Structure 1
Amino acid sequence: MNWLKIIAAAGFEVGWVIGLTHSSNIIEWLGTVIAIFLSFYLLIQASKVLPVGTTYAIFVGLGTTGVTLCDFLIFGQPLNIGKIFLIFILLAGVLGLKLATSNEKGA
């Protein structure tokens, strides 16, 4: 369950990063603030049970990947082979951290 909190936190991270860049009215800014709160709340809750270093690395890796993909898919930013390669390396590192982390306390 705690790993799902990290995934959800990364999803909210994508939302607030996009919100910081593209918000133009009070409703969008309010949504951005709520996404910031939920993102860090879920990250902190998961970090109480899971190893902090692994938790944060996975959070940042998924968030970075999500923002890059949203930039490409939604906002039309260019995506070259170098970015794709680096995203795969990042995701491989995140998966490796997940597999290497003991699951004793926080599954």
Structure 2
Amino acid sequence: MNWTFLILAGIFEMVGVLMINKLHQDKNIKAFMMMAGGFGLSFIFLSLAMKTLPMGTAYAVWTGIGASGGAILGMIFYGESKNVMRILCIALVLGSAVGLKLVSG
């Protein structure tokens, strides 16, 4: 269950990051509340995951999911660059997160 919590934390981190961009565009209370909710849920799930996972592993996987997911969502929703090197770097970050899961048990 701890890895499920960690993945959920990463997904909600992505929501928070996506809403930061939305807030810069719209500047409305809905975008602000969604941003705060995304980050709040992210921290809650990260905290639950860290009850059993090592801090270093949990933090690295959480930031990897958030950073990679944010970059992917930027490509999908905001027309950010989709060049091969950028996608390769995202794959390396995600691969590292999977590697940490494999060696952490």
TM-score with structure 2 length normalisation? 0.92
The reply on whether 1:20 has 2:23 as its aligned counterpart is no
- 1:59-78 to 2 correspondences below 5 Å: 59-78=62-81
Q: 1:51 aligns with which of 50, 54, 61?
A: 54
Spell out structure 1 runs of 4+ moving beyond 2 A.
none
Letter of the 1:43 partner, please give it. L
**Could you tell me how far apart the structure 2 residues matched to 1:73 and 1:27 are?**
21
Alpha-carbon distance, 1:57 to partner: 0.6
TM-score with structure 1 length normalisation? 0.90
Alpha-carbon distance, 1:37 to partner: 0.8
Q: Which has the higher helix share?
A: 2
Q: 1:90 aligns with which of 90, 93, 99?
A: 93
Give the structure 1 partner of residue 3 of structure 2: 3
SS of structure 1 residue aligned to 2:81:
coil
- In structure 2, list runs of 5 or more residues that go unmatched: none
**Could you tell me how far apart the structure 2 residues matched to 1:81 and 1:67 are?**
17
- In structure 1, list runs of 5 or more residues that go unmatched: 103-107
Aligned positions, number: 102
